[in-house]
């Protein structure tokens, strides 16, 4: 398929074209850079990031939110970030397993994306993938991360609304909760709220949030039982409220600058690899025993 035709079909929301475009970008196929340069992502399509520790019920919560949104006739894309298979570098968990209830729904596009070694809870191609999906006529985009941790806060730069999902069992850890996680949440969810100590955990979390410096958005703590659809309507209401509460996201600026640096470095170094450097260094070592590594590097930087 010609790149212009692919771009047009993505803009029309054809799922097979979106899938092909994402694969093109992920695998850096022929012309992928030209394709990205010519697409027109819609900057107002909300990206909702859902993150939290393994076992918190992120997939169940996304499942419940999607069900509620379908009642409003919304068109939704779900990008589920999975661990990488050690055998083929693809996503280890399948989207059919996660969200099989909606797999054949014509209003829902689901894609599992492998982390491919990225340490940030996302894929190293996630920015490009979101730009592709934002070029299609979806009303909402969900991104579900692998998990959450000190290094896994880049979702806050990618998403317009970041939902951090916790469980009551995390109550013992609340005083030592990593400050980075506290800072990325636009909404906290205490899922599996029918478990013991859920009310206490939610109150303590709210208290910690109120001790933070005042900001334009008061981070709510929502209790949910995702597999029973309890609290989901309130969570959806808060997501929509936050989406209306647009403000400058400094984390996004930082994330895009980081991505730009990565792309520029890749472009500048495309003709330089370890093997070629080794051959050049070996030749210079044979010609000059006083080889200076730092002068050699400087010759590439000047």
Query: What are the per-10-residue average pLDDT scores of the chain (302 residues)?
Result: 93 97 94 94 94 88 93 92 54 51 86 68 84 97 77 76 90 59 87 93 88 78 95 96 82 83 82 85 86 85 74
Closest CA to 157 of 42, 44, 254, 258: 254
pTM as predicted: 0.84
Alpha carbon separation from 263 to 19, 80, 166, 219, 227 (Å, rounded) = 23, 24, 34, 34, 41
Residue 143 and residue 122 in contact, taking contact as beta carbons nearer than 8 Å: yes
Residue 204, Ramachandran bin (φ over 0: left; ψ between -120 and 50: alpha; else beta): alpha
Spatial contact of 212 and 182, defined as CB atoms under 8 Å apart: yes
Q: What is the pLDDT of residue 95?
A: 42
Q: Domain locations in the chain?
A: 1-40, 42-249, 256-301
Q: What is the pLDDT of the chain when averaged over all its residues?
A: 84
Token pair in block for residue 143: 């991104």
Region 42-249: CATH code: 3.40.50.300
* Torsion angles phi and psi, residue 143, rounded to 5: -125, 120
């Amino acid at each position: 398929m010609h790149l212009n035709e692919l771009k047009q079909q993505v803009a029309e929301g054809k799922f097979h074209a979106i899938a092909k475009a994402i694969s093109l970008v992920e695998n850096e196929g022929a012309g992928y850079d030209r394709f990205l340069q010519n697409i027109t992502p819609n900057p107002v399509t909300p990206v909702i990031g859902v993150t939290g520790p393994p076992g918190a019920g992120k997939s169940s919560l996304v499942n419940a939110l999607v069900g509620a949104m379908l009642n409003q006739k919304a068109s939704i894309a779900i990008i589920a970030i999975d661990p990488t298979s050690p055998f083929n570098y693809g996503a280890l968990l399948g989207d059919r397993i996660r969200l099989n209830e909606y797999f054949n729904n014509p209003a829902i596009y689901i894609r599992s994306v492998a982390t491919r070694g990225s340490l940030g809870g996302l894929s190293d191609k996630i920015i490009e993938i979101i730009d592709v999906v934002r070029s299609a006529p979806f009303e909402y985009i969900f991104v579900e991360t692998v998990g959450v941790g000190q290094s896994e806060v880049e979702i806050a730069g990618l998403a317009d609304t970041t939902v951090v999902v916790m469980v009551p069992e995390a109550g013992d850890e609340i005083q030592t909760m990593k400050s980075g996680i506290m800072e990325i949440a636009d909404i906290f969810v205490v899922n599996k709220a029918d478990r013991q100590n859920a009310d206490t955990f939610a109150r303590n979390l709210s208290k910690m949030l109120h001790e933070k410096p005042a900001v334009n958005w008061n981070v709510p703590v929502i209790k949910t039982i995702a597999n029973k659809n309890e609290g989901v309507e309130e969570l959806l209401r808060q997501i929509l409220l936050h989406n209306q509460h647009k403000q400058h996201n400094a984390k996004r600026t930082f994330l895009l600058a980081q991505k730009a640096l990565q792309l520029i470095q890749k472009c500048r170094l495309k003709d330089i690899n370890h093997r070629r450097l080794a051959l050049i260094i070996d030749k210079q070592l044979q010609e000059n025993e006083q080889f200076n590594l730092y002068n050699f590097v400087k010759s590439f930087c000047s």
